């Protein structure tokens, strides 16, 4: 028996965006989509969220076709509705419109028997910001390596 993934991350999101705040939303799925997600056959890499008629929609989220599905299997890249309270959607819409922020799915996780999406409100990083973060991470890794080697010598 294979171990079910508890969290599916979108690592690309934190690389490309400064995440300002996060929210939790439900997602409307069909049966075969849920079974595919439980097998870990989902990709959030290029997905994004749009607000249309005060409803949240998840685009470009690839959920692979379920192997044991029948002719009613789902379309892998269809848009999917996200569920949030109306007041939260109004607030997000105003922030996206005024400040030029983006809505990005950060992770998909299981909460009891439900599947939830963590939405990040973020501002796009510039190329020099990405380089700065990479340099900082490299320096931190070098420092940890030196400290670890000093501990071995003592």
Q: Per-residue pLDDT for 1 more than 50?
A: no
| Cβ–Cβ < 8 Å for 126, 45 | no
Sequence ranges of the domains in the chain: 7-126
Kindly report, residue by residue over 63-111, the tens digit of the pLDDT.
Answer: 888 877 777 777 777 899 999 999 999 999 998 888 888 899 999 998 8
Q: How far apart are CA 18 and CA 100, in angstroms?
A: 13
Using a pLDDT cut of 70, give the percent of the chain over it.
95
DSSP state letters, 14-43: HHHEEEEEEEEEEE---HHHHHHHHTT-EE
CATH 3.40.50.720, applies to 7-126: no
Angle, CA 105 vertex, CA 102 and CA 109 arms, to 5°:
160
Average pLDDT of span 2-12: 74
Q: How far apart are CA 99 and CA 116, in angstroms?
A: 26
User: What are the angstrom distances between the C-alpha of 13 and each of 20, 66, 86, 114?
Assistant: 12, 26, 25, 23
User: What are the angstrom distances between the C-alpha of 37 and each of 17, 85, 94?
Assistant: 25, 24, 32
H, E, C per residue of 75-122: CCCCCEEEECCHHHHHHHHHHHHHHCCEEEEEEEEEECCEEEEEEEEE
Q: Per-residue pLDDT for 141 more than 80?
A: yes
| Cβ–Cβ < 8 Å for 114, 28 | no
């Amino acid at each position: 028996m294979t171990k079910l993934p508890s969290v599916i991350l979108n690592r690309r999101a934190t690389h490309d965006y400064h995440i300002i705040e996060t929210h939790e939303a439900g997602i409307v799925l069909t049966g075969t989509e849920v079974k595919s997600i439980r097998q870990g056959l989902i990709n959030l890499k290029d997905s994004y969220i749009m607000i249309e008629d005060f409803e949240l929609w998840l685009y470009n989220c690839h959920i692979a076709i379920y192997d044991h599905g029948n002719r009613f299997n789902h379309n892998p890249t269809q848009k999917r509705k996200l569920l949030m309270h109306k007041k939260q959607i109004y607030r997000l819409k105003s922030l996206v419109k005024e400040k030029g922020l983006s809505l990005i799915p950060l992770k998909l996780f299981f909460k009891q028997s439900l599947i939830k999406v963590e939405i990040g409100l973020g501002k796009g990083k510039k190329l020099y910001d990405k380089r700065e973060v990479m340099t900082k991470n490299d320096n931190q890794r070098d420092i940890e390596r030196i400290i670890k080697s000093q501990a071995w010598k003592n």
